[in-house]
Amino acid sequence: MFKSVLLLGHIRGIRLEIHVSWLVILALLLVTMTTGLRQQFPEWSFTTAMTTALVTSLAFFLSIVLHELGHSLVAIRRGVPVRAITLFIFGGAAQMSRDTESAKDEFWIAIAGPLVSFALAALFLVLLAFLSGWYEPLTVALGWLGAINLIVAVFNLIPGFPLDGGRVFRAAVWHYTGDADKGMRAAVAGGRLVAYGLFAVAFWNLLVLGQLMGGIWLLLIGWFLLTMAEGHGRTYEMNKRLAGIKALDLAEGNVPRVNGHTTLDTWLNHQVLPWGQRAFMVEDNGGHLLGLVSLSDARPVPREQWLETTVAAVMTPLSEVVTVSPEESAETVLQMMNERSLNQLPVMANGQLSGWISRQQLLRTLENQLELRQLLRNR
């Protein structure tokens, strides 16, 4: 399967990932910067221009990581867990496991990124001042890095979701009205306004100035911001409804099980077909869990071998099965199942299976849970 996200490594337990779109931007940046440098400094050799472009691009990449790390470390210090930092076409995002609980947390987490970018800009520009007149490619790189970090800091402070400024705006409205929802709505509205503003400038570029590339680029950024702002708004409303529902509430107790020694032939004909279940937990004779087997594990095995192949031979071993703790929030459960395209998610605590969440049943269980809560509230 094609993966759109590549794992680079871990920093302080946070996954550092790049979305493939970032590689496209990196390549584009490399080509345009090399060409630009060759035009601006004809006396430079091709190798010098390309090396400068490469080093500058990588330093820019590192600057964005540091910006996101700024958000992440402040978030962790304030008790908001961060799962991953993802770098994609228009920059980066720190993925937090839950929403902030106070306007102050929201403000400091949001402002930390632009502050890091301002600090980096200052660092590069001070270095430039000290080293000016020294090795030319180095000073060119420092000047560019100073400018771009300044642009990143300022652009991110525009007060509309999903930009950092949108979060700062949200924190401000939240602080002064004491209402987190109002803050959220204001930030999403701000995001929409910023997107419409970008559309207007884009059309002005296209129709009045006749600048095709600039116009299309602005349209893309505007459209991206609009989608993100709307998405944030929807997720927020959804999570508010889901608040308090846990993985265990969504789990079914009747988990289909199969003995590891069962042949594929017996399993498929006597359990899968009549029960209409696509996945089973595999256990040994003593009832200990060994792993999880699903129809897709059996698919690559030729039919002639079904009689001599056991389910244990094709299953996913327990250590590799994605599981969730009973206390995990419904929000995280949905996110995990979507992100990893899981059809079932065993709920486990201390090696004991307490049920599982299946995609087939999930919506119905969720509806029941929400209805039940409504009932209890109306009493």
* Nearest position to Zn ion, beta carbon: 113
State the residues that interact with Zn ion by CB under 5 A: 113, 164
Nearer of residues 166 and 215 to Zn ion, judged by Cβ: 166
Closest to 222 in 3D by CA, of 256, 179, 180, 193: 193
Q: Tokens standing for 77?
A: 């210090």
Residue 6 near residue 20 (C-beta atoms within 8 A) = yes
Tokens 């924190």 belong to residue: 171
Using the minimum distance from each CB to Zn ion, give the nearer residue, 53 or 74. Answer: 74
Active site residue 68: yes
Beta carbon nearer to Zn ion, 143 or 231: 231
Marked catalytic residue, from 17, 68, 106, 331: 68
Residue number, 164 or 297, with CB nearest to Zn ion: 164
3-state DSSP of the chain:
CCCCEEEEEEECCEEEEEEHHHHHHHHHHHHHHHHHHHHHCCCCCHHHHHHHHHHHHHHHHHHHHHHHHHHHHHHHHCCCCEEEEEEECCEEEEEECCCCCCHHHHHHHHHHHHHHHHHHHHHHHHHHHHHCCCCHHHHHHHHHHHHHHHHHHHHHCCCCCCCHHHHHHHHHHHHHHCCHHHHHHHHHHHHHHHHHHHHHHHHHHHHHCCCHHHHHHHHHHHHHHHHHHHHHHHHHHHHHHHCCCEHHHHCECCCCEEECCCEHHHHHHHHHHHHCCCEEEEECCCCCEEEEEEHHHHCCCCHHHCCCCEHHHHCEEHHHCCCECCCCEHHHHHHHHHHCCCCEEEEEECCEEEEEEEHHHHHHHHHHHHHHHHHHHHC
What token pair was written down for 310? 């056991």
CB of 27 to Zn ion, least distance (A): 23
Closest to Zn ion by CB, 113 vs 190, is: 113
By beta-carbon proximity to Zn ion, the closer residue of 105 and 164 is 164
Q: Closer to Zn ion at the Cβ: 164 or 283?
A: 164
The residues carrying an active-site annotation are: 68
